[in-house]
Amino acid sequence: MQNATETFPGCLVLSTSKVYVLRIIGKEGEDPQRWLFEECSWTIDRLRRILQIPFKQGVLVELEQSNKTHDELNSTITFLCVLQDLQRTLNFLLYVTDILLLPICEKTELTVPEYYTSSMHHLLKNCKSYQDGDTVRQLALFSSGLLRYEDVEVQLKLSSLIITTSVLAICNMQWLLPGNKELPYIKREQAMSNLIGVEHCRSSLTLNFLDELIGQEETWVLNFVSVNAVEVVITSIRSPWEELFSVPLQDTVCKSQDIPIIAGRHFGYSKRDQHIWVKNFKLCSGKLQSPISLSSFKSVALPLPALEVIGYHDFLPNPLYLKNSGHSVVINVNNHLRKELPYIFGGSLDANQEYEIDHLHFHWGAKNNRGSEHILNGIRYPMEMHIVHRNKIYSNLSNASNYKNGLVVLGIFFQLQEEDNESLHSIVSDLMCVQGINRAIKLSSPITLASLLPKNIDIFYTYKGSLTTPPCNEVVTWIIFPTPVPISFTQLNKFRSLSNGKDMLADNFRKLQNIGLRKTYVRRLNPLLIAKYNGTIFNAENLDWFWH
Ligand SMILES: [Zn+2]
């Protein structure tokens, strides 16, 4: 946790000379170099202090920033390290004080500072269900959560759960940081007597409440850092609850593992789920939706300019992360170094507009006869890749998603064959490391976009459509290549080994949308056509007539 702004899974490593903060990306495996990355490090003399947070939830580490000139207030950086269990916190503190890490020992506080107790006392007095003599039984930090009540869903980042004999309260986290003036305040509270059931699945805990007086149900889904942490929370709830009701507390294990709570949108691909996209995301019922069924007979053939692809033969800049988003597997092209990224122009795109790569992802089926989103001449391919490009005039994807000329997506079909496609090797071999939802890994070998394109990009279909996932913004110029790229059965099966948090991640394609009044175009260069259009080179200025 850095400056109360970011949370990530990681490790704190202390040596006699340095303090390291490492970030965990992807699935932990045998080779730490594949999942452990250095976030930052300091020499040990910059360590100001280490202190314990209440209920052995972890430690706070304060470090001096090297750049003091800027602003004296910002001269320290604080990491709140939520440890996996209480024993670990204890072991960590014992280690730093027992072992001769002298410079560190002097800066370690083994007792929990007094201001934590007074802060929590202040909080309790503000709880509606607080009863005299109530004391805090547990303070548990959780990394993210989702609260559902009165038809609203509230997403939470790192926050604290305070449990007393009569109250369960979700509070902010900032008050744990020393020097922070913020007192703990209650984001949501429930009386212990309203709790009707507890479910837990791995490190996620669901608390179900019913307020019988007003007939209101409420659910809290809290994601902790470890299974152990969840068990400690359940234990601290159990005894006051059982005392209240004189029956054992119902604790269901993995009854309903919802798609884990991630910051972002919820949507599913089952028939029923797709039906409710429209309800939750109004744009999905628009008139220019994607995907559609394309046909060579119904498309207008035009001698369009070629699609120019620039930088497609260069390796995408490192580090490249492969991520299982739960809806797809995504390769994000980040541009920390502000290098020029591969981009496209020409074709049916607005003249003078360049579109830069943002990310690419895939849609595939559970069976070989389905998977692609678009259909071409009645064929549904087993997989379709989307290379999403953003108009360079917009600074980022979400900004570009607000404008009609915001995005261009290249659609590439895959066709099964016996032999592996060597160009997919890098991606496919790393899929094994992102089987769980939200897993990410640094791609082990570099890739070029050119290696993922079909041999022939001279012919393409183009039409105006939308994102094929919620919120379905109608801002996409689609360019679909009819020539498929090969993929082997073994390779495709690796995609099917991914999980969406509940089931196999597959059949992640949207149902076909109406073409409506739209026209679809196909670039062809036969002499007859060229003669027909008198050698006219089409560009956006003279294409306006044909889009509508
Ligand atoms: Zn897509």
80-95 tens-digit pLDDT: 888 867 777 888 887 7
Does the active-site annotation cover 200?
no
C-alpha 52/C-alpha 81 separation (Å) is: 10
And the tokens for 290?
């994607």
- Cα 521 vs. chain centroid, distance in angstroms? 35
The type of residue at 453 is: L
Helix (H, G, I), strand (E, B) or coil at 95: helix
Least confidently predicted of 88-102, 259-273, 283-297, 382-396: 259-273
Neighbours of 269 (CB within 10 A): 19
Can you say how many angstroms the Cα of residue 435 is from the centroid of all Cα atoms in its chain?
14
Cα 432 to ligand 1 centre (Å): 21
Q: For 160-169, 295-304, 474-483, 531-540, which range has the lowest pLDDT when averaged over its residues?
A: 531-540
CA torsion 393-396-398-399 (nearest 10°) is: -30
Q: What pLDDT, in 10s, does the model give residues 228-254?
A: 889 889 999 998 998 888 888 877 776
Q: How far is the CA of 385 from the centre of ligand 1 (A)?
A: 7
Query: Which range scores top for mean pLDDT: 19-23, 155-159, 323-327?
Result: 323-327
Percentage of the chain with pLDDT > 90? 36
Residue range 130-140: mean pLDDT, rounded: 84
| Domains of the chain with CATH codes | 10-109 (no CATH), 114-253 (2.30.29.30), 288-314+330-417+454-523 (3.10.200.10)
Confidence of residue 188 (pLDDT cuts 50, 70, 90): very high
Tokens describing residue 44: 């040990």
Q: Give the pLDDT confidence score for residue 126 in this predicted structure.
A: 81
Where residue 335 falls among pLDDT bands split at 50, 70, 90?
low
For residue range 3-32, list pLDDT tens digits in order. Answer: 445 777 888 888 878 888 888 877 777 788
Max Cα-Cα span within the chain: 92
Q: Spot the catalytic one: 327, 361, 363, 389.
A: 327
Q: Which residues contact 276 (CB under 8 A, 6 or more apart)?
A: none
* pLDDT at 528 > cutoff 80: no
- Please give the Cα distance from 74 to 322 (Å, whole number): 34
Q: Provide long-range contacts, Cβ within 8 A and 24+ apart, for 40-48.
A: 42/18, 42/66, 43/17, 43/18, 43/19, 44/14, 44/15, 44/16, 44/17, 44/18, 44/19, 44/103, 44/104, 45/103, 46/19, 47/19, 47/103, 47/104, 47/107, 48/76, 48/107
Q: How far is the CA of 420 from the centre of ligand 1 (A)?
A: 23
- pLDDT winner (highest mean) among 323-327, 443-447, 477-481: 477-481
Q: What's the CA-to-centroid distance between 375 and ligand 1, angstroms?
A: 14
pLDDT band for position 515 (cuts 50, 70, 90): very high
Confidence of residue 260 (pLDDT cuts 50, 70, 90): very low
At 111, the pLDDT band (50, 70, 90 cuts) reads confident
For position 398, what pLDDT does the model report?
82
How close is the Cα of 373 to the center of ligand 1, in Å? Answer: 8
Neighbours of 384 (CB within 10 A): 26
If you measure from the C-alpha of residue 313 to the centroid of ligand 1, how many angstroms do you get, rounded to a whole number?
22
**Backbone angle region of 152, left / alpha / beta, with phi > 0 → left and psi within -120 to 50 → alpha:** beta
d(CA 25, CA 43): 24
At residue 210, does pLDDT exceed 70? yes
